[in-house]
Amino acid sequence: MTVHHVDVLVVGAGPTGLTAAGDLARSGRSVTVLERWPTVNPSSRAFATMARTLEVLDARGLAADLLARSHQAPGVTIFGGARIDLTHLDSPYQFAMITPQTNVDRALADYAAAQGAGVRRGVEVIGLDQDDDGVTVTVRPHGDEAGPHTRWRAKYVIGADGAHSTVRALVGADFPGRTILSSIVLADVLLAHGPAGRGLTLGSTRNEFAFLAPYDDRDASGAWYRAMVWDRTNQQPDNVPVDSDEIGGILARAIDPDPGLLNVGWKSRFHCDERQVAQYRHGRVFLAGDAAHVHSPMGGQGMNTGIQDAANLAWKIDAALTGADDAVLDTYHDERHPIGKRVLLQSGLMARGIKLHQPVARAVRNLLAPNILRVPRVRDAIAGGFAGTTLRYPHHKGESSLVGTRATQIPLRHGRLTELQRLPGFVFIRERGADPIDAAGLAQAERADEGPAVLVRPDGYIAWAGASTDRTAGAEALARWTGRELDCLAK
């Protein structure tokens, strides 16, 4: 039996898997992605890319081209006219990018290929065994039980193969949770009278809701939108075909005035669960994206959370392959599991708020939500959580409170941090006016404000903050994360 050897094997060619594969290949690792579907999926559920994910994409040189072909929504109107306002975000991206997930998938696939990652389609994983030195994965042609088996040998495996993950099942990880919404319909729709404004709009009744996200695609008859609709009184299994009249009827009842459905493009019926594995790491196997957590589509967090899982994990695997302590790999679970749990809570609260049935509860919701979101501090906190810009990782006792926060918003004398991050590795940002340090292989920049020096991880979060003159502490932080010491930092 043929055995192929790579540093890292990624299972699943969705946005999570492709981000991880591209990042690892960019760092010089041999990477192959295994995908069971023989062709790229032409349909997708995700459509909103949030500010923090746009920062991640910009650090890979992908954001500008995607934005040139996308709609920019400055906010989200939810129940009672309450508005999640994204225009005050502490980010260059004060909006949500609205584009079908297929466009993001295509950009990430091109990125992974350009970095040297291989993608093999039409093969499915059927076996997985790991030992002290690596992982052996057995695959066969998708759907062909008698087809030839092939084995792959890798130091590490990333399971990014979705909600029905085979990798998750093979490592014996439970996926506890429950279904919270059934018979949700997604569709691309042409509307004669779409909602005014450029934001995302939610309309609801006691029994229905309709969520509309505008595309920048219109003609004389109307404009195209991504629609998500649900009817409490018409609960159907996922395999029941979607009728255009079903979509048009819900839109007419939930959105006032009736937006006037003219045409329906792609459409799909599905259900959503709230589930999360207890552990993201299983020895040399890691679960990421929907393989690790699934939740309500409210808030558009699924694809975003998966891409950020990958950005957190890939550089740590690279560090471990370089010689960093194995404990670095444990921080993937330690940092990303709480984020996944928070996303489940956040999206679940929105879903439950939307489908409230009792008139009194709906009246209270519609009264409180708009007033709460008018308070600037609350507005910005909710918007930052929604966009991912205020999410942070924990820091240890004795470390600066800046450790674990994102560094993208730090103003530099020249250029942007995300431009420096297009090459792999840490970035050292010194104080304004401080001299560069002699550190071959460490990208550097100078702050344009009065903040401290910081050492920025490859995923854009701060690993250390202090004075440039205190190089011992900076060197210790770099060595702890990478297993690599730069003597110049300790001088």
Three-state secondary structure call for residue 218: strand
Measure Cα distances from 227 to 100, 129, 204, 236, 266 in Å: 12, 43, 13, 18, 10
Q: Provide the residue type at 307 as one letter.
A: I
pLDDT at 299: 64
pLDDT at 421: 96
Task: List the structure tokens of 137.
Answer: 């994965």
Quick: pLDDT tens for 14-46.
999 999 999 999 999 999 999 999 887 766 678
From CA 468, how far away is CA 439, in angstroms rounded?
A: 13
Is 161 in the same domain as 205? Answer: no
Q: Per the structure, how many domains does the chain have?
A: 3
Neighbours of 256 (CB within 10 A): 10
Is 118 in the same domain as 30? Answer: yes
Residue 384 in domain: no
Is 186 in the same domain as 167? Answer: no
Measure Cα distances from 84 to 7, 76, 113, 197, 239 in Å: 43, 5, 37, 14, 34
Is 220 in the same domain as 270? Answer: yes
Is 261 in the same domain as 323? Answer: no
Residue 186 in domain: yes
Is 243 in the same domain as 130? Answer: no
Residue 415 has pLDDT above 60, yes or no: yes
Task: List the structure tokens of 215.
Answer: 């595309």
Is 116 in the same domain as 130? Answer: yes
User: How deeply is 22 buried, as exposed, middle or buried, from its count of CB atoms within 10 A (0-12, 13-18, 19+)?
Assistant: buried
Query: Lowest mean pLDDT: which of 42-46, 320-324, 340-344, 442-446?
Result: 42-46
Strand partners, 445: 429
Is 263 in the same domain as 324? Answer: no
Is 306 in the same domain as 294? Answer: yes
Residue 79 in domain: no
Q: Provide the residue type at 453 as one letter.
A: A
Q: Which domain holds residue 158?
A: 3-40+100-176+277-354
From CA 51, how far away is CA 103, in angstroms rounded?
A: 17
Q: What percentage of the chain carries pLDDT values higher than 90?
A: 69
Residue 379 has pLDDT above 60, yes or no: yes
Quick: pLDDT tens for 118-159.
999 999 999 999 999 999 999 999 888 778 999 999 999 999
Task: List the structure tokens of 14.
Answer: 């969705």
Residue 390 in domain: no
pTM for the structure as a whole:
0.93
**Helix count (H) and strand count (E) of the chain?**
13, 23
Cβ atoms of 104 and 303 closer than 8 Å: yes
pLDDT at 490: 47
Is 183 in the same domain as 324? Answer: no
Is 148 in the same domain as 245? Answer: no
Say how many CA atoms lie within 13 Å of 173 toward its Cβ.
26
> Final residue of a domain: which of 217, 240, 274?
274
Q: What is the CATH number of the domain that holds 427?
A: 3.40.30.120
Query: Lowest mean pLDDT: which of 87-96, 138-147, 409-418?
Result: 138-147
Task: List the structure tokens of 408.
Answer: 């993208």
Is 127 in the same domain as 207? Answer: no
pLDDT at 64: 97
> Which strand ranges, in their side-by-side order, compose the sheet holding 427-430?
443-446, 427-430, 453-456, 462-466
Q: What is the CATH number of the domain that holds 269?
A: 3.30.70.2450
From CA 151, how far away is CA 346, in angstroms rounded?
A: 41
Residue 347 has pLDDT above 50, yes or no: yes
Strand partners, 150: 139
**Element of type H or E holding 421:** none
